[in-house]
Structure 1
Amino acid sequence: MTESDFPLAAAWSGLSGGAVLEAAGMLSLFVGLLFLGSMYLPGPRASGPGLEGESRSYKLNGLASFLIAMTAAGLAQVFGWFSLSVLHTHFVALFLMANGFAFAMSGWLYARRARTPDAPEGFWRQFFFGAELDPALLGVDLKFFSYRPSLIGLALFNASFAVVQYETYGRLSLAMVLYQIFTFVYVLNYFQFEYGMTHTWDLVSERFGWMLIWGDYVLVPFFYCLPGWWLVHASEPLHPTWAAAIVLLFGFGFWLFRGANEQKHRFKRNPEAPIWGKPARSLDGRLLISGFWGIGRHLNYTGEICIYLAFTLTTGFTSWVPYLLPAWLAGLLGHRSRRDERRCRAKYGELWGRYTRRVRFAMLPFIY
């Protein structure tokens, strides 16, 4: 595989001791400022399901953190105080430092395991899966907080690709413009819907160990931006007809992903809330069978895969490498849907059997 086939390989050539030190400072400043923002920026509070017998309350100021970070980066770029292209040139160094941070944080949480008498047995399970369900530092829930550097970091990396393309060629391609719009809307909407995260499986039931930490600080920001690398120097223009088709795919996926999640959250808050203009229907008041949830059991996952496929289709078909992202996500969410099925069957028993007979398909109506 040549460098042109895999543009990330070029980033390794710029790796040096100085770049690693600079990356360490950048990462520390970035995470530190977001942590302070989580502590002090205003925002409403939302209650989540009880964890380990205790009610949890979360401050929803992630949207403010995201908008401040992106505005500050944009102003710094416009006025020449700082160029986001440094994220592109320091990508590998930042990747190495993020890995170090993830292992250090996991080790620190493992060292706190003595405070958690019901932690799973064994070093591997405690380090990898986590000893604590809901660790906090200075009043900040670390699991809830870690979505912020994860997704804001992803948004900044994506923006850096546009900056590099413009600084190199003096323009932005249609594919890059669409990619920037799609990814910005996706991250912005996450923080608009931050209240919905208080009921997710990861937040409610997963312990916070290396698996989630590495996913937040390394996998999402450094792997989920993969299509952006190909767009920086992409030479083939995106045909307007193909661009329109990609926009439709993104719109459909976004409607499916966000619509399904919003319906579920609305039902949990009010079982009689209207869905698609009619009162919600359910089985025994527990399992929603209206809207998207009367068509498929995990259509929110299907919508998210469509969103990431739209991201990737902006790169065209000159390389298979960007398609690792939607392929990975399809495997991840397909596995998660099966894990959800097992958990729901254990939780609801016979009621879940009635639900699966009523809603026959999981992620693809009439297929799967």
Structure 2
Amino acid sequence: MADLNPRSTTYEFMGPPGAFLISFGVPFMTYLLYFGCSEESGGCPPPLQSIPDRFVEALSDKTFWASLWDTEASLIYLGWYAFCIVAWAVLPGDWVEGVTMRTGEKKKYKINAFSTFLLAMGISCGYIFRNGPESFTFLYQKWIGFVTASLVMSLVQAFYVYASSYRPGALLALGGNSGNFIYDWYIGRELNPSIGPFDIKSFNELRPGLILWVLVNMSMVCEQAVRRGGLENVTDSMWLVLAAQTWYVADGLYNEPAILTTMDITTDGFGFMLAVGDLTWVPFVYSLQARYLVFNPVELGPLRTAGVVGLNLLGYYIFRDANGEKNAFRNGQNPKNLKYFTTSTGSKLLTSGWWGRSRHPNYFGDLLMALAWSLPTGFDTPITYFYVIYFAVLLIHRQRRDDENCEKKYGKDWETYKKLVPYRIIPYVY
């Protein structure tokens, strides 16, 4: 395997120092967003500068450290993760091949994330219908306990996959074999860590955190309903956030095979970066808008609601239509007769349709949807727009990583392609 697993010669994220800082920074920021923007800390203040002050104040509280751990929340979270594993194992699903790996093999993935989502939604909605909305507020009430439980799960998995990557025959990620423990543990040393047919990376990418994001939002709806006297009194802004983000998650899970061609699956190893991103960051940071609306309800009215819905639909259309063009083309289909550029290696790159407008038009659609999810919170604080800012930085970074990889792969052909498609994400802007 020595030829298949060469030593990594370049670093990303500023190398080991960056990996170390981000490994502490992600959990710190997750807690920071809670203590800086929550009912318990006095609401969500206008100035971003006051968030660190609130967090420092919380650190000086004698009960702070004890409050981070909640045994009941940890057991519930462990049960949730176990439910996702059992659902993966017992629910029917097709086994789909991924891309060809360096070994010449194609790994098979079980496709049943959407079925898992439907089962979880059915059980949760039935539970709420039978026991009332107050029975499903525990995700809001035990927020910090669930965050800590997800962080512990992320750490355990990161150490496990790093240790198991040293077994004979493991296929390593080209960027995760630097020999530096901190960096390789963070970025992911093994490309596809698995336990038998169970692929840890793809499972975490779409199931425990992504579905939990929707369940967290449902808990926020229930908490607001209890405070306002029933589900019929939940604000239009809260319903809008729940509907838009649920649709986004459902769409991603329904189109599960599309993830098999993404950089996360084909290129990146699985380490703490993806583990904490999937299990902690997605459900407990992406739901910031819904959590804010619990203690600061906003009534939009018909006109503003229609505007937000229109923006979200526009973003979704661009996102889905662009991905549809790409996936069809990769599968040997070209129903729109799109133009393409053929490289010297025989690879074909689209140069018309959405992919002729920019090199990552799906990212543009993603950003429009992210903005639409934040607008229902109003403009009293910039903190609820953290997701949009973070997501823009994330997508720009991904775009640059992808461009670097393509430049290595296609050489001078990539320069020719960039002249044909000059814009990176937003047509005529960036």
One fold, TM greater than 0.5?
yes
- Report the alpha carbon displacement of residue 233 of structure 1 after superposing the two structures with TM: 2.7
1:28–1:236 Cα change, 3 Å: closer
Looking at structure 1, the residues matched to 334 and 297 of structure 2 have their Cα atoms a distance apart, in angstroms, of 50
> Hey, what does 1:337 align to over in structure 2?
399
1:349 aligns with 411
**1:145 aligns to 2:199 (yes or no):** no
The code of the aligned residue for 1:146 comes to N
Secondary structure of the corresponding residue to residue 318 of structure 1 = coil
What is the rounded CA distance, in whole Å, between the counterparts of 1:227 and 1:281 in structure 2?
Answer: 41
Give how far 1:16 is off. Answer: 5.9
| Distance of aligned partners of 1:99 and 1:240 in 2 relative to their CA distance in 1, 3 Å threshold | same
1:191-213 deviation per Cα after TM superposition (whole angstroms, max 9, x unaligned):
11111001111100100000111
- For residue 97 of structure 1, report the CA deviation from its aligned partner: 1.1
Are the counterparts in 2 of residues 296 and 361 from structure 1 also a CA contact under 8 Å? yes
Q: Matched residue of 2:108: which SS?
A: strand
> Is 2:190 the counterpart of 1:132?
yes
CA–CA distance in 1 between the matches of 2:65 and 2:370? 29
Q: Which residue of 1 aligns with 2:216?
A: 157
User: One-letter code of the match for 2:138?
Assistant: V
Q: Which residue number corresponds to residue 166 of structure 1? A: 225
The residue aligned with 1:103 is 155
Equivalent residues in 2 for 1:1-368, closer than 5 Å: 3-5=42-44, 20-53=70-103, 54-80=105-131, 83-115=135-167, 116=170, 119-147=177-205, 148-170=207-229, 171-270=233-332, 272-275=333-336, 279-284=337-342, 286-368=348-430
d(CA) in 1 for partners of 2:213, 2:141: 15
Q: How far off is 1:247 after superposition? A: 0.8
| TM-score between both structures, scaled by the size of structure 1 | 0.93
Q: Do the aligned partners of 1:196 and 1:262 also contact (CA within 8 Å) in 2?
A: no
Q: Which runs of 4+ in 1 moved over 3 A?
A: 6-10, 12-19, 116-120
> Does the CA contact (< 8 Å) of 2:97 and 2:109 recur in 1?
yes
Give the distance between the partners of 2:137 and 2:69, measured in 1 at CA.
14
8 Å Cα contact 1:14-1:89 kept in structure 2? no
Q: Report the CA distance shift for 1:18/1:146 in structure 2 as closer, same or farther (over 3 A).
A: closer
| Cα RMSD after superposing both structures | 2.3
Distance verdict in 2 for CA 1:114–1:232, change over 3 Å: same
Q: Distance in 1 between matches of 2:115 and 2:65?
A: 34
Listed one character per residue, the Cα deviations across residues 214-258 of structure 1 (whole Å, up to 9, x for unaligned) are 100111111011111121133442132221111111001101111
1:52 deviates by: 3.4
> Using the alignment, how far apart are the partners of 2:273 and 2:428 within structure 1?
34
Supply the distance in 2 between the matched residues of 1:35 and 1:303 (Cα, whole angstroms).
31
Deviates more, 1:290-299 or 1:348-357: 348-357
Deviations 1:78-103 (A, max 9, x none): 10188221011111001011111111
1:158 shift after superposition: 0.9
**CA 1:236–1:48 in 2, change beyond 3 Å: closer, same or farther?**
closer
Structure 2 residue identity aligned to 1:227? Q
Question: Is this contact kept in 2: 1:46–1:198, CA < 8 A?
Answer: no
C-alpha distance 22-354 of structure 1, shift in aligned 2 (>3 A): same
Q: 1:248-306: CA deviations, max 9, x gaps? A: 11001101111111211111001x4213xxx2321126101232001111111111111
Q: Which consecutive unaligned segments of at least 5 residues does structure 1 have?
A: none
Letter in 2 for 1:274: P
Give, in whole Å, the separation in 1 of the partners of 2:405 and 2:280.
27
Q: Is the 8 A contact 2:98 2:260 kept in 1?
A: yes
Distance in structure 1 (CA, Å) of the matches to 2:223 and 2:151: 24
Distance 1:18 1:191 in 2: 31
Counterpart of 2:27 in structure 1 is none
Q: Give secondary structure in 2 for the equivalent of 1:146.
A: helix
